[in-house]
Amino acid sequence: MKFEMDGWVDPSEKTILKVDLVETEDLRTKYPAMFSQPCEISIGKGWIPLIDRLCSMLQRTHDYNQHMGYTQVTVLQVKQKFGGLRFYYSVPEQVHLSEKTKWSDWASYVHGAVDFAESMSHSICEQCGERGKGRDHHGYYYTSCDAHKL
């Protein structure tokens, strides 16, 4: 569906937000334990540095504290919804009773870090990574800088 004559373009056609495979492969290569399962990454490349920082932080914290029962985070899906980042993950529950409390701290930590990254995405252009803001294009919500406004 395309109505270019009156200046309106179906946002699903105009938004060329999807990252190319090379960039998502970089993430998978850099964080093999986090991306050990098939996982869809469908976001613009402007958010890749944000995801990269998030993964780096989570993996590093896990690696340092593994002996305390911090379980490996696995990424399930990374996408955009209502203009913001959605980062779906799993933190397998700790089975050892003695490490349950620390695992619970870890799960809260991961939740907080992901929440913050998702919140940050609302001020970062999904296409280029410059400062952006939330926009509404005929009911299609996205985050962009002025240059990448639809």
Q: Which residues bind Zn ion (CB under 5 A)?
A: 125, 127-128, 130, 145, 148
Residue 129 CB, shortest distance to Zn ion, in Å, is 7
Residue 47: is it exposed, middle or buried by C-beta count within 10 angstroms (0-12/13-18/19+)? buried
Residue 123 CB, shortest distance to Zn ion, in Å, is 12
Phi and psi (nearest 5°) for 4? Answer: -75, -25
Q: Which is nearer to Zn ion, 114 or 125 (CB)?
A: 125
* Rounded Cα–Cα distance for residues 69 and 61 (Å): 12
Q: Which is nearer to Zn ion, 1 or 16 (CB)?
A: 16
Q: Which is nearer to Zn ion, 56 or 123 (CB)?
A: 123
Q: Which is nearer to Zn ion, 25 or 130 (CB)?
A: 130
Residue 127 CB, shortest distance to Zn ion, in Å, is 5
Q: Where are the alpha helices (DSSP H) in the chain?
A: 11-14, 21-30, 48-65, 100-120
Got the DSSP string for 43-71?
--GGGHHHHHHHHHHHHHHHHHHGGGT-P
Residue 30 CB, shortest distance to Zn ion, in Å, is 24
- Which residues have CB under 8 Å from 60's CB, separation 6+? none
